[in-house]
Structure 1
Amino acid sequence: MSLTAFDNEKYIREQTEEILEKTKLFDHKLYLEFGGKLLYDYHAARVLPGYDPNIKMRLLKELKHNADIILCIYAGDIERKKIRADFGITYDAEALKLIDDLRAWGIDVLGVAITRYNEQPSAKLFKNRLERRQIKVHTHRYTKGYPTDIDLIVSDEGYGANDFIESDKPLVIVTGPGPGSGKLATCLSQVYHEYKRGVRAGYAKFETFPIWNLPINHPVNVAYEAATADIKDYNLIDPYHLEAYNKKAVNYNRDVEVFPVLRRILKKISGGEAVYQSPTDMGVNRVGFAITDDAQTREAARQEVIRRYFRYRCEYAMGLIDSETVQRVELLIKDLNIGPEYRPVVDPAYDAALEAQEKEECNEGICCGAALQLKNGTIITGNNSQYFHAASSLVLNAIKHLAGIPAQIKLLPESVIESVSHLKTHILNEKTLSLDLVETLIALSISAPSNPVAQLAMEQLTALNGCEVHMTHMPTPGDEAGFRRLSVNLTTDPNFSSKDLFVA
């Protein structure tokens, strides 16, 4: 089965050429806002089979001698400890991780801009933490007059009140963890300061989604709407592009809504020059030209919409989002003429839960089922029992299948299981003795040196990377952490796996 529908090399080549063309529009000083994730863009990898999730870093590495990087983070996100779902960590922790990851690629961050800063306690602590690790931190207040008073915005009281982050490179990448981090305001503030210093600097936006040259109802663009349903983004035909060029181009509401203000601000900064006629003009996005298999891409995007549907239902159950977000994704699914059962692992997971119920082995009377689809299409199932969580039995069953080990052969000796269970219940005073996925993987690694069969099975764990998994109940922290480390695409129903309100 082909897993490639995207030409990474063509994309890098065309995207680089487009960036360089943009710099020529100005005095070889361009502030490039990076929309989406700079690293580990798993959404793009899921909807564009074959897409390298770190392709942006590969591109930046080629440009690093001509580029600096500014990292933005919104003080409010630090204060309310907003979580990045892909890694299960807060945005401030993600900012630290991003700095480490950039350094691992041989790229240093010029500075960190904390945006809309107002002495928030957590933001102050974050600032102190960075500065004591010798990282330059700049604070930007809310821009006075924004968005209506252009004269105040483009003045020493507006953008001029922000710290200027000095750079001697022709290209400055402005990025941050998640949407709303203040990247645009930082770019415009920098452009204002550059003009005051006599440098005719410019602005552009590195985009991935929506893909402007695909139809608005293409599943890839629908998947973008699903991914941003919680912030109420939606796609539309760029009216400014249509008016200026009589050509349809897909953009999204925030870029279109802010364009009139942005154009007025840029004209005010530059003294009346209008470089862009539409928000699409400002974008640097050649993703659509690198798609090599449209049918495969459409199918991958449909699956992503369903994943988002399950994720939002769980987040609603946990009180993290409102019902409107779930309803928005439900409508998108209906528009694609599919349902949750279109995901191949959903029904088998339900069947596995019924099997556990029939065996009467459910913990606390809660029967959990799980299913995993291997790369060759084979479906493996698992369910919870006295000794294992459903996630644990699923992974053990999967690696036994991959290693060609008969189902009846046990990978973990009872002595190891009992020892871990004893530690949990009698020493650590936990309520349940069944092993979650992380505990199971540790037990497997302990057994491997003395058990060649366990060693053979453990070597198959890497084959689970990118596999599809569904569970009938939300994972415990240990299950979620294990699946994240195995890099599977996990969805779950919005059912709690325990009657307890607090699960460690």
Structure 2
Amino acid sequence: MSWDLLSLERGNAVHSRPRKVLTIVAFVKTGFFHSPKAPGTAPGCIHAGPAAGIFIRWPEGSSAVHSLPGDHPVNHQTGFDNQKYLSEQTAAIFERVSRFDNKLYLEFGGKLLFDLHAARVLPGFDPNVKMRLLQELQKRTPIDVILTIFAGDIERKKMRADFGITYDSDALKQIDDFAQWGITISSVVITRYEDQPAASLFRNKLERRGVRVYTHRRTRGYPTDVDMIVSDEGYGANPRIETSAPLVIVTGPGPNSGKLATCLSQLYHDHRHGVRSGYAKFETFPIWSIPLKHPVNVAYEAATADIRDYNTIDHFHLEAYGTQSINYNRDMEVFPVVRRILEKITGQASIYRSPTDMGVNRAGFGIIDDAVVREAAGQEIIRRWYRYACEYAMGMVDKETVDRVDGILHELGLKPEDRRVVPPAREAAAEGQAAGRGCEGIFCGAAMELADGTIITGKNSELMHASSALVLNAVKHLAGVPDRIHLMPPNITGSLQHLKKEILRGRMLSLDLEETLISLAISSASNPVAAEAVERLKELRGCEVHLTHMPTPGDEAGLRKLGVNLTSEPEFATKSLFIH
């Protein structure tokens, strides 16, 4: 059977109001053509065939492609200027280096790589712009990079949610990622080390791969006894980390990794060796130069609700300069102690009169469209609410965390349904239940908002999970593939189900997203339609997705790899307690 490529030119009016032209770029069987409205389809909706669940509304007499009413799609517009931020932040760092005998320890708050939170709340923000900044710094001056990780996080297997990996795995990933950017992490410091078995194994693993590892014990006297802290029994008990560059970057996989203590310990050793080094903090959130209750700053509170961070007016700054700036509770609480420690180490009055002084943060000056970032930040807060609600259902956070973000939503006049993909996902699940579809009594719906605002939905079935149906429907829409065309022939899906049941002795035959993507890739070798669909998967990155049930591991991993922004209702997708 032969396949021809049918390509109709994309009209400019597609996906904009008014919509009169439907784009079709499709591989179709010779002799067949797919109309925008399939014969026999009731006005108002169209359902997919094998993928079970594409549901796109259109007004009678108009195109089948339709964007739901509302404002611009999430992150559709740019609200942040990377280049402006890059130049301002670079200049500010070099100005800070010049204040200290050409030796500065720069603590990086937040994530250096893949800062997806910043990218979501500041549309236009490059998640890796800080690495571009480090590359720029490295062109002008040598830099050393120290990575710190809290031994307790290794022992508890604390997770980095956006990648679904533990903090120790993230530390290994960061070493590799930095190397790909041409930057070497010179040392790893395991902080608050108490001979925890998992931390010791981590140390051995690194050392046997040639990575220099230091361990720092808990600092005696911290945080109240400054005389003990700044002594041979305090910071002096830590080994001095070998550095040679005038600028030392100190980073970690997450908050409370021991970055500040590592910097201060190094200052103690440097000053004992006659090196007048200094300390500063590279910050992104909260942004000191925008209002306290600005949604971007409130989104930071939502992101850290589980560790009880909150923003506040920097009263030290207000008293010192008479101007208002924003900081967060941990920096405010520790500032008096840090200032006393710095003065004890240097023997001089601190140059810092406030926590804001201590930071280097020009993020606020990169905002070029306040309305866009406000809208994006509001959507991020809703995403955080869903995440914490799911983590509460899984026993990972307490009720206070969920209630706190619930209060933030109420304060900003937001509700979970303000996320545009939520109502269509719920509707898809309800339709699946009404039609008696689903799998083992579970009726799951999924919805995706494409870059142009189009909403695509999917439902679960005996053949595949809702996430699988959703992704197939989305790429079929993007490629203009008619609904009647199968992307994966029954012999491939049937073989996979046979493998799962008869060979691997599995109980669940419905294909999760990772299995579906593998099937699609296999099909693409002999099917030009599937090959075109595979190429369209790249266009899903950054799209918004909502599920009516928490994703299984295979669905979650697949959606994460596709790079979508995922939320789900706090409902389990199976009645089984063990989910794999």
TM-score (norm 2): 0.86
- 1:480 corresponds to 2:568: no
SS at match of 1:417: helix
For residues 349 and 25 of structure 1, what CA distance do their matches in structure 2 show?
55
Question: Could you tell me which residue of structure 1 aligns to residue 187 of structure 2?
Answer: 111
Q: Which residue of the other structure, out of 17, 29, 38, is the alignment partner of 2:112?
A: 38
CA deviation profile, 1:439-471 (whole Å, cap 9, x unmatched): 000000111121111111111100000000000
Deviation at 1:272, TM superposition (A): 2.8
Which ranges of structure 2 fall in alignment gaps of 5 or more residues?
1-71
- 1:48 corresponds to 2:122: yes
Question: Could you tell me which residue of structure 1 aligns to residue 507 of structure 2?
Answer: 431
Q: What does 1:51-450 correspond to in 2, within 5 Å?
A: 51-64=125-138, 65-450=141-526
In the alignment, residue 202 of structure 1 is paired with which amino acid? Answer: G
Deviation at 1:359, TM superposition (A): 1.9
For residues 24 and 411 of structure 1, what CA distance do their matches in structure 2 show?
61
SS at match of 2:566: strand
Deviation at 1:363, TM superposition (A): 1.2
Question: Could you tell me which residue of structure 1 aligns to residue 77 of structure 2?
Answer: 3
For residues 148 and 77 of structure 2, what CA distance do their matches in structure 1 show?
34
Q: Which has the higher helix share?
A: 1
SS at match of 2:249: strand
For residues 431 and 464 of structure 2, what CA distance do their matches in structure 1 show?
15
SS at match of 2:126: coil
Deviation at 1:4, TM superposition (A): 1.5
TM-score (norm 1): 0.99
For residues 370 and 485 of structure 2, what CA distance do their matches in structure 1 show?
43
Question: Could you tell me which residue of structure 1 aligns to residue 86 of structure 2?
Answer: 12
- 1:492 corresponds to 2:492: no
Higher relative contact order (CA 8 A, sep 6+): 2
SS at match of 1:110: strand
Deviation at 1:409, TM superposition (A): 2.0
For residues 323 and 363 of structure 1, what CA distance do their matches in structure 2 show?
31
For residues 476 and 180 of structure 1, what CA distance do their matches in structure 2 show?
30
For residues 244 and 485 of structure 2, what CA distance do their matches in structure 1 show?
64
In the alignment, residue 311 of structure 2 is paired with which amino acid? Answer: N
Deviation at 1:273, TM superposition (A): 2.1
For residues 373 and 408 of structure 1, what CA distance do their matches in structure 2 show?
23
In the alignment, residue 15 of structure 1 is paired with which amino acid? Answer: Q
Question: Could you tell me which residue of structure 1 aligns to residue 42 of structure 2?
Answer: none
In the alignment, residue 50 of structure 1 is paired with which amino acid? Answer: G
SS at match of 2:185: coil
For residues 172 and 349 of structure 2, what CA distance do their matches in structure 1 show?
38
CA deviation profile, 1:115-143 (whole Å, cap 9, x unmatched): 00010000000000000001000000000
Q: What does 1:444-463 correspond to in 2, within 5 Å?
A: 444-463=520-539
Deviation at 1:3, TM superposition (A): 2.8
SS at match of 2:106: strand
For residues 301 and 373 of structure 2, what CA distance do their matches in structure 1 show?
16
For residues 255 and 246 of structure 1, what CA distance do their matches in structure 2 show?
19
Indicate the RMSD between aligned Cα atoms, in angstroms.
0.8
Q: Which has the larger radius of gyration?
A: 2
Deviates more, 1:29-38 or 1:444-453: 444-453
Q: Which residue of the other structure, out of 28, 40, 44, is the alignment partner of 2:102?
A: 28
SS at match of 2:146: strand
SS at match of 1:73: strand
Deviation at 1:286, TM superposition (A): 0.2
For residues 413 and 199 of structure 1, what CA distance do their matches in structure 2 show?
69
SS at match of 2:525: helix
For residues 101 and 85 of structure 1, what CA distance do their matches in structure 2 show?
18
In the alignment, residue 447 of structure 1 is paired with which amino acid? Answer: S
For residues 28 and 4 of structure 1, what CA distance do their matches in structure 2 show?
37
CA deviation profile, 1:51-102 (whole Å, cap 9, x unmatched): 0000010010112242100000000000010000010000000000000000
Question: Could you tell me which residue of structure 1 aligns to residue 546 of structure 2?
Answer: 470
SS at match of 1:459: helix
For residues 447 and 483 of structure 2, what CA distance do their matches in structure 1 show?
16
For residues 390 and 524 of structure 2, what CA distance do their matches in structure 1 show?
36
Deviation at 1:248, TM superposition (A): 0.5
In the alignment, residue 382 of structure 2 is paired with which amino acid? Answer: I
For residues 303 and 177 of structure 2, what CA distance do their matches in structure 1 show?
24
For residues 305 and 121 of structure 2, what CA distance do their matches in structure 1 show?
16
In the alignment, residue 120 of structure 1 is paired with which amino acid? Answer: Q
Q: What stretches of structure 1 move > 6 A for 4+ residues in a row?
A: none
For residues 291 and 232 of structure 2, what CA distance do their matches in structure 1 show?
43
Question: Could you tell me which residue of structure 1 aligns to residue 40 of structure 2?
Answer: none
CA deviation profile, 1:37-61 (whole Å, cap 9, x unmatched): 0100000000000100000100101
For residues 188 and 508 of structure 2, what CA distance do their matches in structure 1 show?
44
For residues 497 and 214 of structure 1, what CA distance do their matches in structure 2 show?
41
Question: Could you tell me which residue of structure 1 aligns to residue 39 of structure 2?
Answer: none
Deviation at 1:408, TM superposition (A): 2.6
In the alignment, residue 287 of structure 1 is paired with which amino acid? Answer: A
CA deviation profile, 1:273-331 (whole Å, cap 9, x unmatched): 21100000000000000111110000000000000000000000000010000000000
For residues 259 and 470 of structure 2, what CA distance do their matches in structure 1 show?
42
For residues 455 and 202 of structure 1, what CA distance do their matches in structure 2 show?
56
In the alignment, residue 97 of structure 1 is paired with which amino acid? Answer: K
